[in-house]
Structure 1
Amino acid sequence: MRMRISFVLRGLIGLLAIGFLVQGAMSALQLRAVNANARDLSDNWMPSVQALGELKYKVTRLRLVDARYVTAIEPVPELDLVSARRLKDVEAVATRYEPLIASPEERAAWIAYQQNWSAYLEFRSRIMSAAQAKDQGVLNEIFQASRKPFDASIESLDRSTALNVSGGDEAKIKSEATYVHALWIIGLLCSVSFAFGLAGIVYVLVGVTRPIDRLILRMRN
């Protein structure tokens, strides 16, 4: 009986230990998955949306310089300086954003932006030349023609932004689902561990304590 009791108690303790180990391992795996989704959201999707918004703002500010060329109110050399500075800002943001591209769809949208932007920059060079030559008729014509590649560039940026917003929403949903799944698993493992512990207590009370009490009672009698 002594060996049987010892064997059962050791088995219950072993099962509890295994349960705790499994619970810890599953908790670590689920937390790792939640952390991966959170990092994906904070390190990729959110910075991409921020960079694209900033790029769209910088591009629009550069477009306003073209309009200032057309109005011919300010000296052309001053506008050239403003133009060079704002174009440099656009290139800096574009360089920061490109490594964040995370999908073929986003890459395709970026390639479309680069193609349209290159076409727009060709029109810009002609705008600046016409402004220096003070040819208002040609300047107006080129400015109107440059609207198409500029609008196409903005459309590509908007498409990239939509892709990143969608990706961020998906990462958020996955993170929430993983969190709920982790709670269920941890709750289940805790319940199983509790059941084994309760079974051990019941076994000790019923299978060990009562026989000993009966034995003591017989000895007294």
Structure 2
Amino acid sequence: MLSRISIRSKITIVLVILLVAMTGMGLFAIRQMQAINANAVDIQTNWMPSVRVLGDLRAGVITYRNVIREHMLSELIEEKLAQEKTLETVVEANMKARQTYEKMITSPEERALYNEWVETWESYKKGTQEVMALSRKAAGSYPREAHDLNTTTVNLIGIKSDNILKKDIDLNNKGADLAGQEATNSYNTAFMLVAIMLGAAVLIGCVVGFYLVRDVSRGITSIVTPMKALGEGDLTAVVPHQGEKTEIGTMADT
């Protein structure tokens, strides 16, 4: 039945099959690249900025707590007041970091952690005001009351707030790692499937090409042999494919 199809039609079918396969591979590759790009953008615009700002905020929190310790260790009232001035700049920097981070929060879980941290941190700051008041009162001597309050109560709140902030940082790191893993998986999947599709296309092309060459060769041989016999005077030789609307049929008719 396939011998009734013209060579031009066969070649056209092969080209169409190859074009469809190439188009399919191209579209699939583009789709996978879009997925990889989406994950990369997610890391670049969401997770990494959040991790960076949270890192700045955590550094500011540590600085705040260090200033409180320095306040208690300072003997002169002037030194204590200087520490309080330093604390004002730390609070201002922390507030800017908080305002920046608040705009980056994207999930309810992240929002809940941040709200919990804010509540705990504000409680800690309130406690440090009492600690500094006791520390100022004890200027020139060892601030035992301030130290005891900080050790037994306020510092514990500070540790709790640090742990909450660390959970928030871990959440963002986990999100960045997940997005990175998804990008890696998308790349690996795309590479594997494109390689399979390419191999299949090459195999199909080779098989179809081999069949096409063999079919054309057989068709030509099938008419050349009887024509040669006719030329040698064998009038019983029958030329096949006569009347067929193909290139081989046209050759047979002549």
Within a 5 Å distance, the mapping from 1:148-187 to structure 2 comes to: 148-187=156-195
Which residue of the partner structure matches residue 35 of structure 1?
37
1:98 to 86, 99, 102: 102
Point out 4+ residue stretches in structure 1 off by more than 6 angstroms: none
Residues 1:70 and 2:72 are matched in the alignment: yes
Comparing both chains, which one has the higher relative contact order based on Cα–Cα distances under 8 Å and sequence gaps of 6 or more?
1
Which residue of the partner structure matches residue 81 of structure 1?
85
Which blocks of at least 5 consecutive residues in structure 2 are unaligned? 232-254
What is the distance in 2 between the residues matched to 1:118 and 1:71? 23
Residues 1:140 and 2:142 are matched in the alignment: no
Count how many residue pairs are aligned between Structure 1 and Structure 2.
Answer: 221
Identity of aligned residues (%): 23
Structure with higher Rg: it is 2
Which residue of the partner structure matches residue 46 of structure 1?
48
1:100 match: secondary structure: coil
Which blocks of at least 5 consecutive residues in structure 1 are unaligned? none
What is the distance in 2 between the residues matched to 1:127 and 1:94? 24
1:102 match: secondary structure: coil
Q: CA deviation at 1:106?
A: 2.0
Which residue of the partner structure matches residue 124 of structure 1?
128
Residues 1:10 and 2:12 are matched in the alignment: yes
The alignment's TM-score, normalised by the length of structure 2, stands at 0.77
Deviation string 1:175-220 (CA, Å, 9 cap, x unpaired) is 2221111112211221232233223322331111332245345545
1:151 match: secondary structure: helix
More displaced stretch, 96-105 vs 81-90 = 96-105
Deviation string 1:87-116 (CA, Å, 9 cap, x unpaired) is 112222222223333332222211111000
What is the distance in 2 between the residues matched to 1:129 and 1:70? 10
What is the distance in 2 between the residues matched to 1:98 and 1:216? 84
Deviation string 1:47-93 (CA, Å, 9 cap, x unpaired) is 33332232222111111111111123352331121111111122222
The alignment's TM-score, normalised by the length of structure 1, stands at 0.87
8 Å Cα contact 2:72-2:132 kept in structure 1: no
RMSD across aligned positions (CA): 2.3
Which residue of the partner structure matches residue 110 of structure 1?
114
